[in-house]
Structure 1
Amino acid sequence: MDYHNKLVLAPMVRVGTLPFRLLAAEYGADITYGEEIIDHRLVKCERRLNEILGTIDFVVKGTKEVVFRTCCAEKNRVVFQMGTADAIRALSAAQIVCKDVAALDINMGCPKSFSLSGGMGAALLSKPELIHDVLLILTTLRRNLDTTITCKIRLLDSSQETVELARRIEKTGVSALAVHGRKVKDRPRDPAKWNEIADIVASLSIPVIANGDAFEYEDFERMKDATGASSVMIARGALWNASIFSAKGKLPWDAVKKEYVRKCILWDNDIKSTKYTVKEMIIHHSCLELAEGKAVNKSDTYKDLA
């Protein structure tokens, strides 16, 4: 996987499923991250070929619950992001999915409660004694898998601390490092600290993927110029209008929204996930209390939603 000069779809919980990844790629995303999947869930799964859809499904054994779905069309660009706090379990989980994705990413920056409560995500960076676990997870995966390994972090309390962590991560042999330019305590409305991402870039030889506050296509180059990063990752800007990846300019969000729902029907996406994503789109552009938002909330089937 080449991480230079790429436009990257960020991992987003309940959003980064197959239809949304394919939508972003259709508009120009070079690399697409799936939503974070916890290792505990993945080790309970088995790989199944879905001949009806033409997909590869990772399904909880003995059930029809699809934990992760992919297809051949995205094999060379999809990154499986995993939440973990244990090297051995991480390896067991990674071995299940690694041959069907382009890369594996370890999430070390998620501030959401489900990740923190399990000692994963940003919790791995919150205590100095846990940094050893971070490095052990990455080293174990690198030594035992013939797969590209990366990780994603947030900023620590000081730029010096983050740079030191990034240097230690680089020594594990990862292929790239994604950096969200906010600290765990920061909220989305707080400006991303591009200057601190630049400090990391200047200290590493591996590609750095900069994440935070890119909302227009033009922001990709601005962010690369400001940080020196190899590539740029985008989350909310893509959620609000996935055609942000298009060099030709954004399409009307209503058209993007309809194409997303069409793809969700085509790829049999979980309707709860689809409704969540559509509502997030509506909240940014309109209001859930208006007619469309109320109708989406009441939708029980794809027929209703369409």
Structure 2
Amino acid sequence: MQIGPIKLDNPVIAAPMAGVTDRAFRIIAREQGCGLAVTEMVSDLALLYANPRTYRMLDFREEKYPLSVQIFGSNPDAMGKAAAIVVERGAHLVDINMGCPTPKIVKNGEGSALMKNPELAGKIVESVVKAIPGIPVTVKFRKGWDEDSVNAVEFARIVEAAGASAVSVHGRTRNQFYSGKADWKIIEQVKAAVAVPVIGNGDVWTPQDAVRLLESTGCDGIMVGRGAMGNPWLFRQIVHFLQCREELAPPTARERIDTAIRHLELMVESKGEHVAVFEMRKHAAWYTKGIRGAARIREIINQARTQQEIVDILNSLLH
């Protein structure tokens, strides 16, 4: 799969997820074979005001080429300047978030609220493309705001005309958030309407789902989100299944625990022990899901205060 001048090793992409796809997650996702990992969404204004926490999110040490940074905002000029900052800091692609459904983003006219204002969305894309010549700009959006305003096809045409090099389409409306079923038909319709690569997103939980999404929509790439939380092996399973149509064995309990511990180590490296230990709680719950005794262990992890405590607690699941 190719996005502008950038060729990906494979069409399997780790979706941007706030509070999840930090440096630690991205490194592990790439180690597990995904062709591209997208950062958590980064605020344009936070970048312009040099917010220290936001700048720490742009820590790309040890990450494989290429890297996509997702930015969000609703002011074309500010978004162009923000794009230039993330490229200066190492981004190889810039993704624009026009799909986030959370109220605090939407109330500012950002994220999926932009689907109600396609003209402004086009201006934002134009500004970002102009600010970073030669760098591919991608746009992630949804089926529409609600079932009465499904406009993904029109929206895709507008951002393509504005200079987007690829689009990612989540087959749910904003009003659905993450409930119900993703409508893959809308992804097929977008694919038929534009010439740039189309990445399908929504309800990819297994390698078989990934193949069905590709075959039923004709899309060029697969974006995997919630299915990979605590399950980065899904990336290698999908890549292998696409190539060979055979299933890989699931990770062993030992592999799951070792990867969770490595995830924690990478988080400590990026964020310090205090923050990493707190943020690891949700990841530990995802990594240990289904392992015998995990429910009790999760309660104990939520009381942990140090990296070593979490390592010892995780290892205790194997004894």
Closer/same/farther in 2, CA of residues 22 and 192 from structure 1, 3 Å limit? same
Where does residue 53 of structure 1 map in the other structure?
none
Alignment of 1:1-306 (within 5 A): 1-2=6-7, 5-45=10-50, 60=52, 66-71=56-61, 73-74=63-64, 76-99=65-88, 100-125=90-115, 127=116, 130-146=117-133, 147-156=135-144, 157=147, 161-246=151-236, 247=240, 248-252=248-252, 253-268=256-271, 270-271=275-276, 272-282=278-288, 285=290, 290-306=295-311
Q: 1:261 is aligned with what amino acid?
A: L
Q: Equivalent pairs: percent with the same residue? A: 24
Closer/same/farther in 2, CA of residues 305 and 194 from structure 1, 3 Å limit? same
How far apart are the structure 1 equivalents of 2:172 and 2:141?
9
Q: Runs of 5+ in structure 1 lacking a partner?
A: 46-58
Q: Runs of 5+ in structure 2 lacking a partner?
A: 1-5, 241-247, 312-319
**More strand as a share of residues:** 1
Q: Is the 8 A contact 2:13 2:34 kept in 1?
A: yes
How far apart are the structure 2 equivalents of 1:230 and 1:25?
19
How far apart are the structure 2 equivalents of 1:64 and 1:179?
26
Q: 1:33 is aligned with what amino acid?
A: V
Return 149-158 or 246-255, whichever deviates more: 246-255
Shift of 1:278: 2.8
How far apart are the structure 2 equivalents of 1:148 and 1:288?
46
How far apart are the structure 2 equivalents of 1:288 and 1:168?
51
How many pairs were matched up? 286
Q: 1:77 is aligned with what amino acid?
A: P
Per-residue CA shift, 1:41-80, capped at 9, x if unaligned? 11222xxxxxxxxxxxxx62xx897233112532x22210
Return 291-300 or 133-142, whichever deviates more: 291-300
* RMSD over aligned Cα atoms: 2.5
Question: TM-score if structure 2 supplies the norm length?
Answer: 0.82
Closer/same/farther in 2, CA of residues 138 and 249 from structure 1, 3 Å limit? farther
How far apart are the structure 2 equivalents of 1:276 and 1:251?
19
Question: TM-score if structure 1 supplies the norm length?
Answer: 0.85
Where does residue 315 of structure 2 map in the other structure?
none
Shift of 1:279: 3.5
Query: Greater relative contact order: 1 or 2 (C-alpha under 8 angstroms, separation 6 or more)?
Result: 1
How far apart are the structure 2 equivalents of 1:21 and 1:92?
25
Closer/same/farther in 2, CA of residues 73 and 187 from structure 1, 3 Å limit? closer
How far apart are the structure 1 equivalents of 2:222 and 2:28?
18
Q: Is the 8 A contact 1:3 1:207 kept in 2?
A: no
How far apart are the structure 2 equivalents of 1:17 and 1:88?
26
Secondary structure of the residue aligned to 1:71 is coil
How far apart are the structure 1 equivalents of 2:47 and 2:225?
24
